[in-house]
């Protein structure tokens, strides 16, 4: 068969090979887009991600937040119980939340690594896992983010790429899609935290998981703050926080954020109670504590 002298034989022989390489390259690009977690070479290291996240969240000195706390029942047919809650952030060490209703009076106060919860004038024993959401919001530097996450059981040296709903996220603490260990998901575009997963126990005997979703981030002076926080337990919506309004750098009495002052107040109220009424009061408060905690299980 005659060969067209106008087309070099070498060029014609390479054309099918180039087509194969083009198809292979396109397939690889599509695979990388569909499975970002597999492209380990492009994953930023955990401390670098947290550095960018801290810069994205920005600096906020103090906040007073008026918010609605919705506690959802186990049966979806029932309406949630709604509490008016005030939350105060004094970055980075202090946090206080107050619920005052006809059903219960509750104060939760945090200073550094110490905390105290008072329900109906009596100290409650043990920390409620639902109160942990604010730790991340107070951590706005890389060292503090690393410290906070390590305390919550997140291994910040591990990072991977994954998907959460329709967004690509950095996953710190796990190799996506592993959800058997505690981890934090950070939006790849905004570098804002979007989900904190807390798992009790180890990978072989994992207990109930608590997911905390940080939604609707809004600009607050030189920083960002989520106006909605959702909590799910083993996939079930258990509670939700909706910010009604907030005030930046409010004037706060010093005793309001003082852990020792709150302890002294509890002790004084207990001392003022007549001896004959103390046992009944303790039993009533204990029942109130148990009823309140059951709402969050």
Where along the chain do its domains lie? 44-294
**Is the confidence at residue 37, as pLDDT, over 80?**
no
Q: Name the DSSP letter for residue 29.
A: H
pLDDT digits (tens, 9 = 90+) for 40-82: 447 999 999 999 999 999 999 999 999 999 999 988 889 999 9
Q: Is the separation of the CB atoms in 257 and 97 below 8 Å?
A: no
The whole-number average pLDDT for the span 234-257 is: 96
Q: Which segment of 25-34, 123-132, 168-177, 209-218 scores lowest on mean pLDDT?
A: 25-34
**Is the confidence at residue 214, as pLDDT, over 60?**
yes
Q: Is the separation of the CB atoms in 289 and 119 below 8 Å?
A: yes
Fold observed for domain 44-294: outer membrane lipoprotein receptor (LolB), chain A (2.50.20)
Q: Name the DSSP letter for residue 12.
A: H
% of the chain residues with pLDDT over 90:
68
CA torsion, ordered 182, 184, 185, 187, to nearest 10 deg = 180
User: Rounded CA gap, 244 and 228, in Å?
Assistant: 10
Tokens of 18: 């180039």
pLDDT at 61: 96
User: Rounded CA gap, 195 and 169, in Å?
Assistant: 10
pLDDT at 289: 44
The whole-number average pLDDT for the span 86-113 is: 96
pLDDT at 4: 52
User: Rounded CA gap, 154 and 215, in Å?
Assistant: 20
Q: Is the separation of the CB atoms in 148 and 139 below 8 Å?
A: yes
User: Rounded CA gap, 87 and 63, in Å?
Assistant: 8
Higher pLDDT, 6 or 204: 204
Q: Name the DSSP letter for residue 122.
A: E
Q: 218: which strand partners?
A: 225
Q: Name the DSSP letter for residue 58.
A: B
Rg of the chain taking only CA atoms, in angstroms: 26
């Amino acid at each position: 068969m005659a060969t067209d002298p106008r087309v070099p034989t070498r060029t014609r022989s390479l054309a099918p090979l180039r087509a194969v390489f083009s198809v292979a390259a396109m397939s690889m690009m599509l695979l990388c887009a569909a499975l970002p977690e597999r492209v380990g070479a492009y994953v930023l290291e955990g401390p670098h991600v947290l550095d960018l996240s801290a810069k994205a969240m920005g600096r906020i000195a103090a906040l007073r937040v008026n918010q609605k706390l919705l506690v959802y029942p186990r049966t979806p047919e029932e309406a949630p119980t709604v509490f008016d809650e005030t939350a105060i952030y004094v970055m980075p060490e202090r946090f206080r939340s107050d619920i005052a209703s006809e059903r219960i009076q509750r104060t939760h106060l945090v200073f550094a690594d110490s905390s105290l919860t008072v329900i109906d004038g009596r100290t409650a024993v043990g920390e409620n896992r639902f109160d942990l959401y604010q730790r991340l919001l107070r951590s706005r530097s890389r060292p503090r983010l690393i410290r906070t996450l390590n305390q919550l059981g997140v291994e910040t040296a591990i990072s991977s790429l994954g998907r959460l709903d329709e967004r690509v996220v950095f996953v710190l603490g796990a190799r996506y899609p592993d959800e058997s260990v505690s981890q934090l998901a950070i939006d790849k575009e905004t570098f804002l935290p979007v989900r904190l997963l807390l798992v009790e126990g180890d990978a072989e005997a994992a207990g109930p998981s608590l997911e905390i979703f940080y939604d609707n981030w809004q600009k607050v002076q030189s920083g960002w703050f989520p106006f909605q926080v959702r909590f799910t337990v083993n996939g079930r919506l258990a509670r939700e926080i909706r910010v009604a309004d907030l005030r930046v750098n409010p004037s706060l009495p010093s005793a309001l954020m003082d852990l020792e002052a709150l302890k002294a107040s509890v002790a004084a109220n207990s001392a003022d109670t007549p001896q004959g009424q103390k046992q009944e009061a303790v039993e009533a408060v204990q029942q109130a504590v148990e009823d309140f905690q059951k709402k969050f299980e």
